[in-house]
């Protein structure tokens, strides 16, 4: 319905499309890298935009990405397969805990061995009640039970089986079927076979990496089968590759990641930097700009609810956490109160209230005020008119922009997720209070003069409504800031139970927590769907390679959606999911404040339209109507001569009926004299009520429908991108959305004025015909015209019914059942259509006009084109609507949110989090579970892949060459060629060294053979 239908399918194909979508969002260059690779520039810009963390490209390449792949440090990128393996870290840690808690493991392993991952919330919460029965009814116990249930919901129950099945597939495809009771020995040769099975030849030849992988798997609880003799005569246990060894290898380097943090109502920044303080790592932060050095930049002072493991003493005294020598993290000042890209403010409600308050203030003080009349030029058509109009629009627009910056910008101070001071909220209250004082004592209007009310009565009533509404919204904003002040004043004195109440809740943190839960839910669903692909096979496929069989089943999923869950969704489904909250904590849809404010703007437009229509109808039915103008009343008026000239062209007989009727009509429509002046014929009150009632009903119904569809369109369009219905990584026009991201600022005004335009057009489109039909003077002509139109459409309907009967009998697809008869009928119909084509054109004009008027207010749906944003696009607003979705998805998509959390762990702990060996194990797991990601493996970085024409952090050498006139891209190519030449020289030296060693060994062997032959000749008896 209305272009919002979608069949939402749950299978691995859609999961792959979502991974491609995430890669397309994360890329920032002008070109689209269809392999899905993410470069150091992309990650650096993401950290700057999303978290306000300033990190250079070199630091990303040499520190942050170190350990995520086995490439050289100067390449600095990760591919889509490595991205997926990083996203699987929380799932693998939860699987580790589940395996160690399984009964089989407890029988195999000694009780004294502690598990690697310890979950805080396990089971149904009954264990805490057994330990302390007095806490059953306490708030802490209820919260513990809630988190236990949530932990069970976000943990895939069959995760141990999935780990075991993936290991079985890896071993089966590399060395053949092996019994689970006798797992193979974990040796370099086995790892080489596994890597080569999945096409990782380069990694299979890296013996250092293979040995590190074995050491990682052997640490801790490696399973041994028997001892083997070493070169020095000692006995070393033989390590086998079973489920315990495998899960240990997958998670040994990421144990610092807290999987239980997804159950807490906290942000990712808090989970990484404010938790587990004793583990050390990079902790403190400081501003990168000198202008804001005086502001507290310490991440530990983040104001979040449910801070269980952070105390004030630990924050103020980092020595207690061994953080004295930690390198600080540079932070950028992001103005979070007005951060409409990442939505880092505390309350969306306050932000929307600011936008609505600014709109109402603008309408009451500028647009609908009596002093809004533009300065007119003296002449009618001249350069002066052009310059005056341009000056009026430009300077008034500039004034509105500055007022909005003050109202929304300064009025949003204190709406910060990390604010700890009361000064921003006090400044915001002072700003809004100043606006209200100005509106009250110095209103920008002249409606105190009674003549102004009589001159513009309709606008006066609209102005009055917006004027008083601006005070209501302003006091609401002040109240919300007072709530923030009260919260900051008493938060440190409240218990956790009181902090979680609705009055002291933290909406921004709550939304971030739901995004974390959605990431866990979606990762579990992706793993489960991939596992189902392996479980499905047909007869005769038992002996095939398991990953090959999985690829075959995956390919069939593109055509046959066998076993996949699907459902038809639409606007009603979107609203139900929105009110239930499932769209947030399961799908992870981030409903931006701009989308909410645009929808509220549409509601405001509907209210204004209803107010304006009501005032207009009351005015039209109560005002005294002047009589019609006649020749007698307008004697001497220039319009009489004008009408006489026109009438003389019709007939020269001034006494004929046609001449007199033409003069009467012309004078009524064109003359405005003393005592008369109704340009249109006077209309009775009954006719006015009937026409405006029908027109108002149609206009308001249409605008309500458009406003009802806006939020569902936002949700469903997001799901279309994620499921691949709207292409992303494979779409050549997708990079157009990255250009000019500031275009999204057009949405709020377009949502408001577009809906007003649609309502006004539909109102007059209905009112004028109804008034013409209802008025007795024009009723006969109007009914005759409408009857003719109805006859035309009836003839078209008869033709359609005739064609339906003919098609069913004589046509079958593109083929004719009876060629001769079909040819004759086709000739007859074609000649018939030559005459009826005019009726078709009339029908097309009516339909296109109605559809165009309807889509003036529907800025969320394209009417004319599906292309990206470019100068040839006739209607760019629907594409800007999608651009706004993509901007917020690039910051708030659950996968990107989780990936940013993993990167922040790496940023804090550096070498202690994510090693190359562990990443190699997770890469094998990902390729075995999802072998269709193999085509996205990128082993080496190309020179022109990230040449986006700009460089955020140019080195000193680059700047020097730019100053001397050298082209930056040429400098990059020269630098690249120098590096490649150095690599060639090193490889040449290595080859020469190996050749010399081989030559020496061959000479030694030849000398030994000569001595042996000589010895044989001396000791041989000749017969």
Q: 258 or 312: whose pLDDT is higher?
A: 258
Q: What pLDDT was estimated at residue 131?
A: 53
Q: What pLDDT was estimated at residue 294?
A: 39
Reply yes or no on whether the pLDDT at 55 is more than 60.
yes
Query: How far apart are alpha carbons 72 and 166 in whole angstroms?
Result: 29
- Of the ranges 226-240, 361-375, 789-803, the best mean pLDDT one: 789-803
What lies within 8 Å, CB to CB, of 126 at 6+ separation is none
Average pLDDT over residues 107-136: 62
Q: What pLDDT was estimated at residue 767?
A: 84
Average pLDDT over residues 575-594: 91
CA angle 779, 781, 784 (to 5 degrees): 105
Residue by residue, DSSP assigns 821-881 as HHHHHHHHHHHHHHHHHHHHHHHHHHHHHHHHHHHHH-TTS-SS----SSTT-S--HHHHH
Residue 938 in contact with residue 37, Cβ under 8 Å? yes
Reply yes or no on whether the pLDDT at 50 is more than 70.
yes
Average pLDDT over residues 719-739: 88
The tens digit of pLDDT for each residue in 948-967 reads 545 454 433 433 333 333 34
Residue 748 in contact with residue 601, Cβ under 8 Å? yes
Kindly indicate the confidence band of residue 310, based on its pLDDT and cuts at 50, 70 and 90: very low
Q: What pLDDT was estimated at residue 218?
A: 83
Residue 312: exposure state from Cβ atoms within 10 A (0-12, 13-18, ≥19)? exposed
Query: How far apart are alpha carbons 272 and 909 in whole angstroms?
Result: 10
Of the listed ranges 473-477, 559-563, 967-971, 988-992, the one predicted with least confidence: 967-971
Q: What pLDDT was estimated at residue 317?
A: 37
- Of the ranges 61-70, 458-467, 595-604, the best mean pLDDT one: 595-604
Q: What pLDDT was estimated at residue 534?
A: 85
Query: How far apart are alpha carbons 828 and 840 in whole angstroms?
Result: 17
Query: How far apart are alpha carbons 740 and 746 in whole angstroms?
Result: 12
Query: How far apart are alpha carbons 673 and 629 in whole angstroms?
Result: 7
Query: How far apart are alpha carbons 409 and 435 in whole angstroms?
Result: 13
Average pLDDT, the chain: 77
Reply yes or no on whether the pLDDT at 700 is more than 60.
yes
User: What is the number of other CB atoms lying within 10 angstroms of the CB of residue 946?
Assistant: 23
Average pLDDT over residues 894-910: 92
Kindly indicate the confidence band of residue 926, based on its pLDDT and cuts at 50, 70 and 90: very high
Reply yes or no on whether the pLDDT at 566 is more than 90.
no
Kindly indicate the confidence band of residue 478, based on its pLDDT and cuts at 50, 70 and 90: very high
What lies within 8 Å, CB to CB, of 110 at 6+ separation is none
Distances (CA, A) of 523 to 159, 259, 529: 12, 13, 10
Query: How far apart are alpha carbons 902 and 537 in whole angstroms?
Result: 35
Task: Say if strands 811-812 and 815-816 run parallel, antiparallel, or are unpaired.
Answer: antiparallel
Reply yes or no on whether the pLDDT at 221 is more than 50.
no
Q: What pLDDT was estimated at residue 939?
A: 76
Q: 602 or 1018: whose pLDDT is higher?
A: 602
The tens digit of pLDDT for each residue in 870-880 reads 544 677 888 88
Kindly indicate the confidence band of residue 19, based on its pLDDT and cuts at 50, 70 and 90: very high
Reply yes or no on whether the pLDDT at 862 is more than 50.
yes
The tens digit of pLDDT for each residue in 520-558 reads 999 999 999 999 888 876 655 555 677 777 777 777 776
- Of the ranges 315-319, 542-546, 710-714, 987-991, the best mean pLDDT one: 710-714
DSSP code at position 377: P
Q: What pLDDT was estimated at residue 266?
A: 87
Q: What pLDDT was estimated at residue 676?
A: 64
Query: How far apart are alpha carbons 651 and 653 in whole angstroms?
Result: 6
Query: How far apart are alpha carbons 297 and 300 in whole angstroms?
Result: 9
Q: What pLDDT was estimated at residue 835?
A: 79
Q: What pLDDT was estimated at residue 524?
A: 94
- φ/ψ of residue 811, rounded to 5: -125, 145
Kindly indicate the confidence band of residue 352, based on its pLDDT and cuts at 50, 70 and 90: very high
The tens digit of pLDDT for each residue in 605-619 reads 999 888 888 877 776
Kindly indicate the confidence band of residue 318, based on its pLDDT and cuts at 50, 70 and 90: very low
Q: Which of 464, 460, 400, 470 lies closest to 435, judged by CA?
A: 470
Query: How far apart are alpha carbons 610 and 700 in whole angstroms?
Result: 7
User: For the chain, what percent of residues have pLDDT higher than 70?
Assistant: 74
- Of the ranges 391-400, 576-585, 653-662, 847-856, the best mean pLDDT one: 576-585
Reply yes or no on whether the pLDDT at 716 is more than 60.
yes
Reply yes or no on whether the pLDDT at 269 is more than 80.
yes
The tens digit of pLDDT for each residue in 808-834 reads 788 777 777 888 888 888 888 888 878
Reply yes or no on whether the pLDDT at 293 is more than 50.
no
- φ/ψ of residue 227, rounded to 5: -95, 150
Query: How far apart are alpha carbons 20 and 14 in whole angstroms?
Result: 10
- Of the ranges 186-195, 894-903, 1002-1011, the best mean pLDDT one: 894-903
| Element housing 474 (H / E) | helix 457-490
Kindly indicate the confidence band of residue 456, based on its pLDDT and cuts at 50, 70 and 90: low
The tens digit of pLDDT for each residue in 369-399 reads 544 444 444 444 556 767 777 777 788 888 8
Q: What pLDDT was estimated at residue 105?
A: 59
Query: How far apart are alpha carbons 949 and 489 in whole angstroms?
Result: 49
The tens digit of pLDDT for each residue in 650-668 reads 777 777 877 887 787 777 7
Residue 422 in contact with residue 446, Cβ under 8 Å? no
DSSP code at position 681: P
Average pLDDT over residues 755-781: 83
Reply yes or no on whether the pLDDT at 477 is more than 90.
yes
Q: What pLDDT was estimated at residue 457?
A: 65
The tens digit of pLDDT for each residue in 665-699 reads 777 766 766 656 554 555 566 777 788 888 889 99
Kindly indicate the confidence band of residue 91, based on its pLDDT and cuts at 50, 70 and 90: very high
Of the listed ranges 129-143, 259-273, 574-588, the one predicted with least confidence: 129-143
CA angle 226, 232, 238 (to 5 degrees): 15
Residue 891: exposure state from Cβ atoms within 10 A (0-12, 13-18, ≥19)? buried
């Amino acid at each position: 319905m209305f272009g919002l239908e979608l069949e939402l399918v749950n299978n691995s194909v859609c999961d792959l499309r979502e991974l491609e979508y995430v890669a397309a969002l994360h890329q920032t260059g002008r070109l689209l890298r269809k392999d899905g690779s993410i470069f150091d520039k992309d990650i650096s810009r993401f950290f700057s935009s999303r978290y306000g963390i300033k990190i250079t490209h070199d630091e990303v390449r040499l520190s942050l990405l170190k350990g995520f792949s086995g490439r050289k440090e100067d390449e600095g990128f990760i591919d889509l397969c490595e991205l997926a393996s990083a996203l699987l870290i929380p799932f693998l840690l939860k699987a580790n805990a589940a395996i160690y808690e399984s009964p089989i493991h407890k029988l195999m392993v000694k009780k004294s061995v502690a598990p690697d991952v310890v979950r805080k919330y396990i089971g149904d919460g009954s264990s805490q009640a057994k330990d302390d029965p007095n806490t059953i009814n306490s708030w802490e116990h209820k919260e513990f039970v809630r988190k236990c249930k949530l932990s069970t919901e976000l943990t895939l129950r069959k995760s141990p089986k999935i780990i075991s099945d993936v290991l079985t597939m890896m071993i089966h495809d590399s060395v053949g079927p092996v019994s689970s009771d006798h797992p193979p020995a974990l040796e370099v040769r086995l790892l080489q076979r596994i890597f080569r099975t999945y096409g990782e030849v380069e990694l299979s030849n890296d013996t250092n990496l293979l040995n590190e992988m074995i050491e990682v798997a052997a640490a801790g609880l490696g399973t041994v089968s028997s001892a083997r003799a070493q070169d020095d005569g000692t006995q070393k246990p033989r390590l086998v590759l079973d489920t315990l060894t495998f899960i240990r290898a997958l998670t040994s380097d990421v144990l610092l990641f807290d999987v239980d943090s997804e159950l807490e109502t906290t942000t990712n920044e808090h989970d990484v930097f404010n938790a587990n303080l004793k583990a050390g790592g990079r902790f403190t932060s400081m501003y990168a700009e000198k202008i804001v050095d005086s502001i507290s930049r310490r991440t530990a002072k983040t104001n979040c609810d449910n801070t269980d493991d952070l105390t004030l003493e630990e924050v103020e005294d980092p020595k207690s956490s061994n953080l004295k020598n930690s390198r600080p993290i540079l932070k950028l000042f992001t103005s979070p109160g007005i951060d409409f890209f990442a939505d880092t403010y505390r309350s969306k409600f306050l932000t929307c209230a600011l936008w609505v308050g600014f709109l109402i203030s603008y309408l009451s003080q500028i647009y609908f005020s009596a002093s809004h009349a533009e300065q007119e030029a003296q002449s009618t058509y001249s350069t002066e008119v052009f310059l005056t109009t341009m000056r009026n629009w430009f300077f008034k627009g500039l004034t509105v922009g500055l007022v909005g910056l003050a109202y929304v910008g300064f009025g949003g101070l204190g709406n910060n997720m990390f604010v700890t001071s009361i000064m921003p909220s006090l400044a915001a209250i002072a700003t809004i209070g100043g606006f209200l004082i100005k509106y009250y004592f110095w209103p920008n209007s002249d409606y105190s003069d009674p003549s102004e009310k009589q001159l513009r009565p309709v606008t006066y009533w609209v102005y009055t409504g917006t004027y008083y509404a601006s005070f209501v919204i302003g006091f609401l904003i002040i109240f919300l800031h007072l709530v923030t002040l009260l919260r900051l004043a008493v938060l440190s004195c409240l218990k956790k139970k009181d902090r979680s109440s609705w009055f002291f809740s933290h909406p921004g943190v709550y939304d971030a927590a739901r995004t974390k839960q959605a990431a866990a839910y979606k990762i579990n669903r992706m793993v489960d769907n991939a596992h189902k692909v392996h479980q499905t096979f047909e007869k005769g496929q038992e002996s095939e390679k398991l990953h090959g069989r999985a690829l075959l089943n995956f390919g069939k999923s593109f055509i046959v959606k066998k076993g996949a869950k699907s459902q038809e969704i639409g606007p009603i489904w979107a609203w139900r999911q929105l009110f239930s909250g499932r769209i947030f904590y399961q799908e992870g849809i981030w409903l931006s404040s701009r989308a909410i404010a645009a929808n509220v703007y549409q509601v405001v437009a509907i209210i204004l339209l209803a107010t304006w229509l009501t005032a207009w109808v009351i005015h039209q039915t109560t005002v005294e109507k002047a009589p019609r103008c006649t020749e007698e009343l307008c004697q001497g008026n220039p319009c009489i001569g004008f009408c006489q000239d026109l009438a003389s062209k019709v007939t020269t007989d001034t006494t004929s009926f046609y001449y007199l009727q033409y003069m009467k009509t012309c004078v009524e429509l064109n003359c405005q004299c003393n005592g008369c002046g109704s340009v249109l014929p006077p209309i009775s009150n009954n006719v006015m009520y009937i026409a405006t009632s029908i027109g108002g009903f149609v206009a308001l119904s249409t605008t309500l429908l458009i406003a009802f569809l806006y939020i569902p369109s936002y949700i469903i369009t997001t799901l279309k991108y994620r499921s691949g219905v709207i292409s992303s990584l494979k779409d050549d026009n997708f990079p157009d959305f990255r250009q000019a991201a500031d275009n999204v600022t057009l949405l709020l005004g377009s949502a408001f004025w577009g809906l007003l335009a649609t309502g006004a057009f539909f109102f007059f489109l209905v009112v004028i015909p109804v008034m013409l039909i209802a008025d007795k003077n024009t009723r006969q002509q109007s009914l005759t015209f409408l009857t003719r139109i109805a006859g035309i459409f009836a003839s078209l309907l008869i033709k359609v019914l005739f064609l339906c009967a003919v098609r069913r009998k004589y046509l079958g697809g593109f083929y004719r059942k009876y060629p001769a008869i079909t040819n004759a009928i086709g000739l007859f119909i074609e000649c018939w259509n030559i005459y009826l084509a005019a009726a078709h054109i009339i029908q097309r004009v009516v339909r296109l006009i109605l559809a165009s008027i309807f889509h003036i207010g529907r800025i969320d749906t394209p009417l004319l084109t599906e292309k990206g944003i470019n100068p040839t696009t006739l209607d760019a607003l629907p594409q800007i609507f999608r651009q706004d979705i993509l901007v917020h998805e690039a910051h708030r998509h659950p996968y990107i949110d989780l990936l940013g959390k993993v990167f922040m762990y790496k940023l804090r702990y550096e070498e202690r989090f994510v090693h190359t060996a562990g990443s190699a194990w997770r890469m094998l797991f990902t390729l075995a579970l999802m072998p269709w990601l193999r085509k996205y493996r990128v082993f080496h970085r190309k020179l022109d892949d990230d040449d986006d024409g700009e460089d955020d952090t140019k080195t000193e050498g680059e700047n020097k060459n730019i100053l001397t006139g050298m082209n930056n891209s040429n400098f990059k190519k020269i630098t690249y060629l120098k590096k490649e030449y150095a690599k060639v020289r090193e490889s040449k030296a290595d080859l020469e060294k190996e050749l010399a060693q081989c030559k020496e060994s061959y000479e030694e062997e030849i000398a030994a053979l000569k001595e042996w032959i000589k010895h044989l000749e001396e000791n041989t008896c000749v017969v």
